[in-house]
Structures are given as C-alpha cells and as structure tokens.
Amino acid sequence: MKLMFAAAIAAVITAVGYPAWAQPAPAPAPSTSPAGKTASEKNAQMALEKAGYTQVTNVKSSPEGVTAKAMKDGKPVSVVVDTTGKIKERPPAP
C-alpha cells in the first residue's frame, strides 16, 4: 500500500511538475523602437522637441537620465532629461 501511494505521488509530481524544478524566465529585453532607442530615450527626444530643441542627436540613457545634444535658439547645447522629465542644459562640450 505504501509503495502504491509513493508511486502515485511520484506520478503526479512528474505529470504536473514541481515548482522548485522550474527554470526562471529570462528577463525581458528593454523596449526599443525601430530606430534602436529605448522607450525612455524616445520619450526624452519628444519632450526636447516639444520644448523647442531642434536637431536632437546622441540620445542616450545614463545614470542621471537621458542625455542628448541639440540646438536651442541657434546655439548648440547638451541636455539631460531626468527621470521626472525635467530638462537641464549644460554648456556644450568643446
């Protein structure tokens, strides 16, 4: 009787699976647009253009937010769009 019960339990575990044996799912890849930008980079570029920046290039994620180079009032600027959406200008790099 004990042997039949053990065999039945083993069959159920084999058929149903055991959560401890499950492999973790791979982490999802960051969402990217067809141009290869992440969603946050694309959103930052749209926010910059809406704020009057033109020729927005070099849009990249960084620890402080999304950085980019752009033109504002005919002058080149470096900008950072932080995680709250605030735009900060920096002097252009030489």
Q: What residue spans of 17-68 are helical by DSSP H?
A: 39-50
Q: How confident is the model at residue 88 (pLDDT cuts 50, 70, 90)?
A: very high
Dihedral sign of CA atoms 14, 20, 24, 25 in order: positive
pLDDT beyond 80 at 65:
yes
User: What 3-state class would DSSP assign to 3?
Assistant: helix
Distance (Å, whole) CA 67 – CA 40 = 11
Q: Write down the pLDDT at residue 80.
A: 94
User: What 3-state class would DSSP assign to 81?
Assistant: strand
Residue 50 CB neighbour total at 10 angstroms: 9
Q: Write down the pLDDT at residue 38.
A: 81
Task: Give CA separation, 53 vs 23, 61, 89, in Å.
Answer: 47, 18, 11
pLDDT tens per residue, range 15-60: 555 555 555 666 555 544 445 778 888 999 999 999 999 999 999 9
pLDDT beyond 70 at 10:
no
